[in-house]
Structure formats: C-alpha cells, structure tokens
Amino acid sequence: MNVIISASELAGELAGGDPPVLLDVRWQLSTPAATGRPPFDGRAAYLSGHLPGAVFVDLDRELAAPSAGRGRHPLPDPEEFGAAMRRAGVSAGRPVVVYDGGLGWGAARAWWLLRWTGHPDVRVLDGGLSSWDGPLETSVPQPDEGDFAPVPAAAGLLDADGAAALARSGLLLDARTGERYRGEVEPIDRVGGHIPGAVSAPTTENVGPDGRLLPAGELSARFRALGASADTPVGVYCGSGVSAAHEVLALAVAGVPAALYVGSWSEWSSDPERPVAVGPDPR
C-alpha cells in the first residue's frame, strides 16, 4: 500500500464519489527564543486557510499525552486518541490523508499513530500544504462521527531498553540533526549526544528542495548505505518521536519496515543512568 499521495492524486480523489478524510496536523517544534516570539499556533494557521473539508488535529493534545517524564510527546491514551479521531470523522473503512505545513513531521506522527493502532489506509500528502495549488477554505467542517477504534499493535514500538538493545543487535537511526547527534548543541534536552550505537541519519536528508520525499530508489540507497538490509531490524528515534515518525515514513517508501522509539532522546537523556555517546562515532 502506498504511504504517500501527491497533490494531483489527492485532488482527483477529493473530486470523486468517496473522498478520503482529511486531517490537518500543522505543527512546529517551539523552543525558547531570545526574541520572545510566541510559539507556533497550528490551529491559527489552520483557520487562516486549509484544504477543503480538512479537520484540524492538535499534535500536542491529541497525538500525545502529557509528558510526565516519558519524553516530550509520549503516546496518547488509546481511548482518548480514538475519541479524537472519531470526532475528526475517521472510520476504519474510509481512507485517511494527513498533511501539515510542508515539513511532514506532524503529518507523519498522525500517519504512524493511525497505522500502528490498526487503520488500514492512511497516507501523507507529499510536500504538505505547500504542494497544494487548489482552493483553500477557512470554514470549520463538522464531520459525521467516525467509528475508528484503535487497537495498538504488539510490534513497531520501542521503549528505552528496546532501543538500547537494537543499537547493539540491529540498526538504530537517530533522525535529529548531526549537530545534536554529535552533542555539539542541545537546545532542548538535559544533555547532548546520542544513544550509544545509534547511527546519525537526519530526517531532513530524506527530502528534496521542494519538501517532497526523495524517490524510493534514492531512499533505499541511502538506508542501505547506513546499514539497513533485509535481515537487519531497524528502529528510529529523534527528540520526541515526531521527526522520527517522518523517517519511519521514508523507510516505508524505501520498503524498509522500522520501529519507532517514541520517548526518543527527550526520555533517554532525562535519565542520568542512561549512557550517552558524543561525537561522530556511533559508540
């Protein structure tokens, strides 16, 4: 099954008799800034113009639970997540397309959660809103209640111990920037560096200048060069399980299944008992 959809393909489906549910997941990482700029407001961006019929989904409130020491974006309660998706009109038998402002991280988090909890047909708009040249609307739709009931999968999810083990026995990819991986800068978390054994693989290198994912062949070559193979289990982490979801999406396009460590560096680094590696060498 395809995991991404182009803007032209989406326009065709929206014009058909059975259009997909559209979820707008605009989100940006907000860090303390000396300028005092307010944090990004995804809902305000949505209200200023969104794809026709799209429903806004709040990543921080509906695609994550309160932190409580489990990383900045721990998994949401399944019942609360299911209720949020049903309010948005999500049903098990109807396709879903998710998009964001163009970076792809917020949309990928929604894609991963829906797929991991059992929805059979979820795709990400490749390139996000910036790839769309059709009309936008500002009215807020009131969709019919959906019937989606999430059933979390047994596989596809890593905890801290599982990530540590995978870094030794398989391939654990760090989707953050190289500077954060090496520990040269750390704007958010307690310490800089990476999980020992993890390989640097910034998710920003999975997209082209237009914000769209690279072709499947190029992504496959990239991940092979990083150590992915048919018999190597792969996992991904980032700062808080958002940009890493986008790397899981890119791996899926390349035909490589991968698990997600949702707690990611924000959880790992908060525990002083966990080892930290710095520099360009994985270990």
Per-residue pLDDT of the chain (283 residues; tens, 9 = 90+): 599 999 999 999 999 888 999 999 999 876 554 456 778 899 999 999 999 999 999 999 999 999 877 899 999 999 999 999 999 999 999 999 999 998 899 999 999 999 999 999 999 999 999 999 999 999 999 999 999 999 999 999 999 999 999 999 999 999 999 999 999 999 889 999 999 999 999 999 999 999 999 999 999 999 999 999 989 999 999 999 999 999 999 999 999 999 999 999 999 999 999 999 999 999 8
Q: Cβ distance 27 to 59 under 8 Å?
A: yes
> For residue 207, which of 97, 122, 103, 129 has the smallest C-alpha distance?
103
Helix residue ranges per DSSP H, 103-159: 105-116
* Residue 187, CA atoms < 13 Å, CB-side half-sphere: 9
Which one-letter DSSP state was computed for residue 230? T
Q: From the CA atom positions of the chain, what is the Rg in Å?
A: 18
User: What pLDDT does 78 receive?
Assistant: 97
Six-digit token pair at 63? Answer: 């695609």
CA distance 251 to 254: 5
Q: Cβ distance 236 to 262 under 8 Å?
A: no
Question: Which residues are tagged catalytic?
Answer: 238
pTM of the model: 0.95
Q: Which residues pair with 234 in a beta bridge?
A: 171
